[in-house]
């Protein structure tokens, strides 16, 4: 299988990529630092900066020159400590986690093999019923998420704003997977819930001290079935990419209902296409 993957240089993404390489799959990895890709994988490491839409386009063009893609794993993402404006002028968390991944998906759709698997890494933080410490989404309005200054529901505090930007971007990822499944029933489109995995570097922009404290303290507040490890989540993600069975609880597309208040996945798809 030819597997194209982002978010493969650290955390459970790197664990999954290592497993896929060991199983003999052909890997194409997009990374901000291609030299950080493990040489033992014998992967094709290409430059990809999700903060830069031109970089996304160049990566897609390079992938299109190779063999058809059997699995597209959109695992890369970030979480910031406060709202930031990215290089494209959008709120950075939403731009990277949703808009850039969506842009890459659209550009690679013509190059997917029949029956290809498309996996977007989501998060249980998208669902208020999960009652995590991360501020849950209030809506799935792409314009407000891209331009928070237009959002009348924006929380007052920096941390709550940043947390909600993250959980909302994950909600958008899940809704994108659902809409892709509706539009392209010939593909296996899904979203993956890794659970809470400490020490992944997701919150690296918050600094080492805050990131470490989160990794130490947050698991103590969570339900047992929400906790995971780099090794376990890596195993599940690799299995999804390779088409092997996994517990249904980690396949978000089949696990969670999308709250009615968040609106239509079709509407979000159209709005994301306009922005990306």
pLDDT for the residue 255: 46
pLDDT for the residue 69: 98
CB 175 within 8 A of CB 259: no
197, 200, 171, 192: which is closest to 250 by C-alpha?
192
List C-alpha distances in Å: 223 to 133, 174, 263. 12, 21, 28
Nearest 5°: the CA angle 190, 88, 31 is: 55
Distance between terminal CA atoms of the chain? 29
In angstroms, rounded to a whole number, what is the distance separating the alpha carbons of residues 166 and 163?
5
In angstroms, rounded to a whole number, what is the distance separating the alpha carbons of residues 160 and 181?
32
List C-alpha distances in Å: 254 to 88, 183, 251, 259. 33, 17, 6, 14
List C-alpha distances in Å: 51 to 23, 77, 215. 31, 10, 25
pLDDT in tens, the chain (276 residues): 999 999 999 999 999 999 999 999 999 999 999 999 999 999 999 999 999 999 999 999 999 999 999 999 999 999 999 999 999 999 999 999 999 999 999 999 999 999 999 999 988 777 767 677 788 899 999 999 999 999 999 999 999 999 999 999 999 999 999 999 999 999 999 988 887 765 455 555 555 544 544 544 455 444 555 566 889 889 999 999 999 877 655 554 444 556 677 778 999 999 999 998
Report the 10 Å Cβ neighbour count for 183: 14
Exposed/middle/buried for residue 180 (C-beta within 10 Å: 0-12, 13-18, 19+)? buried
User: H/E/C letters for each residue in 12-52?
Assistant: HHHHHHHHHHHCCCEEEEEECCHHHCCHHHCCEEEECCCCC
2-275, what's its fold?
Rossmann fold (3.40.50)
């Amino acid at each position: 299988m030819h597997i194209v993957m982002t978010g493969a240089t650290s955390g459970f993404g790197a664990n999954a990529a290592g497993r896929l390489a060991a199983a003999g799959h052909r890997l194409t990895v997009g990374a901000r630092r291609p030299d950080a890709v493990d040489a033992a994988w014998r992967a094709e490491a290409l430059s990809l900066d999700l903060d830069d839409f031109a970089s996304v386009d160049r990566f897609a063009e390079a992938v299109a020159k190779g063999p058809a893609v059997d699995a597209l794993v959109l695992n890369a993402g970030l979480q910031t400590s406060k709202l930031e404006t990215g290089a494209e002028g959008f709120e950075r968390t939403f731009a990277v986690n949703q808009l850039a991944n969506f842009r890459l998906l659209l550009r690679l759709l013509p190059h997917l093999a029949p029956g290809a698997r498309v996996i977007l890494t989501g998060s249980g933080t998208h669902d208020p019923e999960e009652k995590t410490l991360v501020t849950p989404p209030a809506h799935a309005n792409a314009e407000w998420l891209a331009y928070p200054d237009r959002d009348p529901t924006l929380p007052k505090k920096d941390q709550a704003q940043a947390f909600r930007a993250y959980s909302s971007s994950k909600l958008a990822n899940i809704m994108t997977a659902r809409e892709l499944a509706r539009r392209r029933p010939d593909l296996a489109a899904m979203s993956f819930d890794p659970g809470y995995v400490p020490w992944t570097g997701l919150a690296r922009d918050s600094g080492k001290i805050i990131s470490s404290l989160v990794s130490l303290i947050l698991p103590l507040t969570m339900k047992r079935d929400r906790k995971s490890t780099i090794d376990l989540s890596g195993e599940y993600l690799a299995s999804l990419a390779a088409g092997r069975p996994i517990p249904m609880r980690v396949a978000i597309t089949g696990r969670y209902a999308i709250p009615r208040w968040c609106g239509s996945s079709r509407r979000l798809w159209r709005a994301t296409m306009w922005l990306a």
